[in-house]
Structure 1
Amino acid sequence: MGIFEENKIDCHNHVFDPVRFPYRADTAYRPSGQELGTAAQFTRVLEASGVQHALLVGPTSGYRTDNACMLDAIAQGNGRFKGIAVVEDDIDRAALRGLKEAGVVGVAFNPAMEGVAKLREAGPLFDLLADLDMFAQIQVVEDQLLALTDLIDQTRVRILIDHCGRPVPGKGIGQPGFEALLALADNGRTVVKISGLQKVSEQAFPYADAQIYAKALIAAFGADACVWGSDWPFLRAPERLDYAPLLALFETVVPDPAIRRKILWDTPKRLFGFQ
């Protein structure tokens, strides 16, 4: 049985539907053209690829802290979707609890786009997330994680790292930021998304130079703390991307069916509560 017949959960993707849910006026980037992807379109992609569930991520682009498009997709998805929201730092416990009851399992933080200084003030929000057993999802780039390890060490919240930690392409697993990510495997509450290989590669598909990062993370964290994500609908992609080739690539990166089942199904099902 190959990857297209195996049970799968896609743990990093976005929905954009500016006709029904207009973008915020103050967004820094407005996805358009082939970057758009409604929940209905994404559902067709999932069904064609044999993917049962998806963890939707509220995007900084387009919507920022307006989670209406994502929440509508979850509500209409008949259990297919859960979400990661983008919120204001001063959100209160009741509002966070409301998001959780609506199918949100965590909150996204984006130092890669907004810088690390903003996240240094997130300790109280991390505490609220820990109290509610929700994730703090963090997207860093290059060596940004070095500035955040003290904050992570001092909190109780479960951490979800985007896109293999987005190391610098070509600098290998010994670069400081990636070594700091590997060290988080020891805390027992960090999960890594094996996704976005095109973001950490200097080559065209199949991103051979980036596969070392995915394999190193799986070796360090184990299949019980790794999940897979497509990054559909591929904002700012350096070249054309399609869903099926990315699934086939993951089968190449993780040829062992037992390990693949954990990363694609058992682990995200357990962590995010998919039924």
Structure 2
Amino acid sequence: MNIFDEPKIDCHNHVLDPVRHPYAADVAYRPAGQEIGTLAQHRLVMDSYGIRHALVVGPNSGYGLDNRCLLDTLAASGGRYKGIAVVRNDTSREELQRLQQAGVVGVAFNATIHGVDHYLDSAPMLRHLADLGLFIQAQVTDDQMVGLAPLLLDSGARILIDHAGRPVPSRGLQQPGFQAVLDLARSGRAVVKLSGHQKYSAGPWPYDDAEPHVRALVDAYGLDACVWASDWPFLRAGERLDMGPLLRLVERWWPDPADRRRLLWDTPRRLFQFGQAG
């Protein structure tokens, strides 16, 4: 069995369908062309690569705080997909419960777009997340995690770190932001996505300068707190990307099928409570 046949869960991907779900009027970026990925296209890609479940992330691009496309996607999946929603910092417990009942397992903070200060008034909402067992998914870059980590830790919520913390590879493993990402492992509440290497690597596939950071994350978190994701359909990518080479990279970095099983299937299935078949 090769990696294309092995059971997999993709823990970061998007559905964008501006025909059925027009973009919000006030978004800064409107995906177009090959960045668009409808539900039908999403299903076809996931089926073609043996991806049995997906954690679909509501994008700031295109939809902003409008979760209707995400919720329609979850409803149509019959439980195959779970979601990460984008919400207001003052979202009520009742609204979070409604999203949870629809298949949402967390909400997204994207400091790479909004900055850290944008989220500093969100502590009450984060306590609701903690009470409900939902994740706060944090996307940061450079040293942003230094400023955001205290808020995440104080919240008591489960933490999902996006795209390996998006370090700057030329600054090495000791850069403060990456050290803050590594330190979150000690909380016992944090999980990291080993994904989005094209967003922070200085070079093309196989992202050689990203590998030391990925290895450090696995050492700190262990494969029981690491998941994989594609980032399909690759918004704002600087070059053409495809799912196949990303999976081959997983095979290259984790040649042991037992390790891949934990990363691609066992850990995300347990964390996000996907179906138990397989």
TM-score by length of 2: 0.97
Tell me which residue corresponds to 1:201.
201
Question: Which stretch has the larger CA shift, 167-176 or 222-231?
Answer: 167-176
Structure 1 consecutive aligned stretches of length 4 or more whose deviation exceeds 3 Å: none
Matches within 5 A, 1:57-206: 57-206=57-206
Tell me which residue corresponds to 1:212.
212
Tell me which residue corresponds to 2:42.
42
Matches within 5 A, 1:207-246: 207-246=207-246
SS of equivalent residue, structure 1 residue 15: coil
- The CA deviation string for residues 114-167 of structure 1, in whole angstroms up to 9 with x for no partner, is 000011111111100011110000000000000122212212100000000000
SS of equivalent residue, structure 2 residue 171: coil
Checking the alignment, whether the CA contact within 8 Å between 2:93 and 2:125 is kept in structure 1 is no
SS of equivalent residue, structure 1 residue 121: coil
CA distance in 2 between partners of 1:103 and 1:85 (Å):
10
One-letter identity of the residue aligned with 2:41:
Q
- The CA deviation string for residues 91-121 of structure 1, in whole angstroms up to 9 with x for no partner, is 1111110100000000001111100001111
SS of equivalent residue, structure 2 residue 127: helix
**Pairwise CA distance, 1:169:** 3.0
SS of equivalent residue, structure 2 residue 108: strand
Question: Which stretch has the larger CA shift, 253-262 or 154-163?
Answer: 253-262
TM-score by length of 1: 0.98
CA distance in 1 between partners of 2:153 and 2:17 (Å):
38
CA distance in 2 between partners of 1:59 and 1:197 (Å):
18
The CA RMSD measured in Å over matched residues stands at 0.9
CA distance in 2 between partners of 1:189 and 1:40 (Å):
34
Checking the alignment, whether the CA contact within 8 Å between 1:84 and 1:104 is kept in structure 2 is yes
One-letter identity of the residue aligned with 1:77:
S
SS of equivalent residue, structure 1 residue 170: helix
Checking the alignment, whether the CA contact within 8 Å between 1:139 and 1:162 is kept in structure 2 is yes
CA distance in 2 between partners of 1:149 and 1:85 (Å):
20
Checking the alignment, whether the CA contact within 8 Å between 1:170 and 1:201 is kept in structure 2 is no
SS of equivalent residue, structure 2 residue 128: helix
Fraction of identical pairs, as percent: 58
- The CA deviation string for residues 58-113 of structure 1, in whole angstroms up to 9 with x for no partner, is 00000011111111111111221100000111211111101000000000011111
CA distance in 1 between partners of 2:204 and 2:93 (Å):
44
- The CA deviation string for residues 151-194 of structure 1, in whole angstroms up to 9 with x for no partner, is 12212100000000000132221111101111111110000000
Where structure 2 has 5 or more consecutive residues not aligned to the other structure, the ranges are none
